């Protein structure tokens, strides 16, 4: 049963972020031939996943003390995420990667504006909320949204191939002073429309991946930002601080920031003699 005050979303990739501390001194103590073997095994495994049509994998060197390495998995089901997690943990490299934290979510496209239009159309057609005819018409309208060319491309885009990445979780406040979920639908839709305008003003400078995590992890959403210049993260997030939807109703978790690098560069990261690079993108980044 669909509640008329609940905005719908289109959902696609199941996403697992894993942050590790890399035990560099222990790895460095290994013989060179063993280090090469460990790196090659992991590279082949992750490149196989990244090249699959129904999965993806990405690596980033993180800055600061919270973690050293971020591994991002995309899969089409939780079961496949579980298989990816287990397969990585069976690699020899996993013995030198100590888990620090993780995040489970599902990529989503929010449909505040579209949901409102669908509700209005169904009301104009005289359909009663929660009746079977109303539910069937709503499902058909959502299917149209999912098949729209722009939405379809965004839903199943692979991990954006841009050098810098910033990941953080967030909530909408629901405390005693303010409660996002008690606002009328029209007010929430207006605030999200204004919020989206800020993001669109950075079009071409940043690629944003929003994933829903209500019921999956400690926060309600995970946000990945990808850019060719890390200063974009500061400018975008700072500007959003002045937006009412963020200033009044948002709460944020820890931020993880670093440099995304190609899986083929994994040996460089492990050896630590050079900064691993992001090589030619596999496909154009979605902006």
Residue 37 lies in a domain: yes
Q: What is the pLDDT of residues 237-271, one digit of tens each?
A: 999 999 999 999 999 999 999 999 999 999 999 99
Residue 5: beta bridge partners?
Answer: none
Closest CA to 98 of 24, 15, 17, 46: 24
Report which of residues 166 and 131 the model is more confident about: 166
Residue 112 lies in a domain: no
Residue 149 lies in a domain: no
Range 159-171 average pLDDT: 97
Residue 168 lies in a domain: no
Residue 174 lies in a domain: no
Cα 269 to Cα 266: distance, rounded to the nearest angstrom: 5
CB proximity list for 49: less than 8 A, separation 6 or greater: 55, 56, 57, 73, 84
Binning the chain into helix, strand and coil, the percentages to the nearest 5 are: 40, 25, 30
CATH number assigned to the domain comprising residue 99: 3.30.70.1030
Range of the domain at 83: 13-107+263-271
Q: Which residues are catalytic?
A: 168
Confidence check: pLDDT of 284 > 60? no
As for how many domains the chain has, the answer is 1
Range 155-165 average pLDDT: 96
Residue 25 lies in a domain: yes
Confidence check: pLDDT of 285 > 50? no
Residue 132 lies in a domain: no
Helix H or strand E encompassing 169: strand 164-172
Cα 8 to Cα 5: distance, rounded to the nearest angstrom: 9
């Amino acid at each position: 049963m669909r509640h008329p005050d609940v905005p719908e979303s289109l959902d696609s990739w199941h996403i697992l972020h894993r942050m590790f501390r890399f035990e560099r001194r222990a790895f460095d103590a290994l013989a060179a031939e063993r280090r090469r073997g460990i790196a090659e095994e992991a590279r082949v495994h992750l490149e196989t996943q990244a090249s699959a049509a129904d999965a993806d994998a990405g690596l980033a060197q993180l800055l600061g003390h919270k973690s050293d390495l971020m591994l991002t998995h995309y899969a089409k089901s939780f079961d496949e995420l579980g298989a990816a997690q287990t397969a990585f943990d069976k690699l020899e490299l996993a013995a030198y990667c100590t888990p620090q934290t993780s995040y489970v979510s599902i990529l989503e496209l929010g449909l505040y504006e579209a949901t409102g239009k669908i509700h209005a159309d169904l009301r104009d057609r005289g359909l009663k909320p929660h009746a079977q005819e109303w539910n069937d018409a709503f499902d058909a309208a959502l299917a149209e949204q999912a098949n729209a060319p722009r939405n379809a491309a965004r839903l199943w885009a692979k991990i954006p191939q841009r050098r810098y990445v910033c990941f953080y979780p967030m909530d909408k406040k629901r405390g005693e002073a303010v409660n996002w979920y008690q606002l009328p639908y029209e007010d929430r839709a207006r605030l999200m429309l204004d919020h989206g305008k800020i993001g669109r003003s950075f079009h071409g400078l940043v690629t944003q991946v929003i994933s829903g995590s209500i019921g999956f992890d400690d926060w309600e959403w995970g946000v990945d930002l990808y850019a060719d210049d890390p200063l974009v993260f500061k400018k975008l997030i700072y500007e959003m601080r002045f937006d009412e939807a963020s200033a009044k109703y948002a709460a944020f978790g820890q931020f993880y920031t670093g440099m995304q690098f190609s899986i083929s560069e994994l040996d460089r990261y492990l050896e630590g003699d050079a900064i691993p690079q992001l090589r030619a993108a596999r496909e154009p980044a979605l902006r």
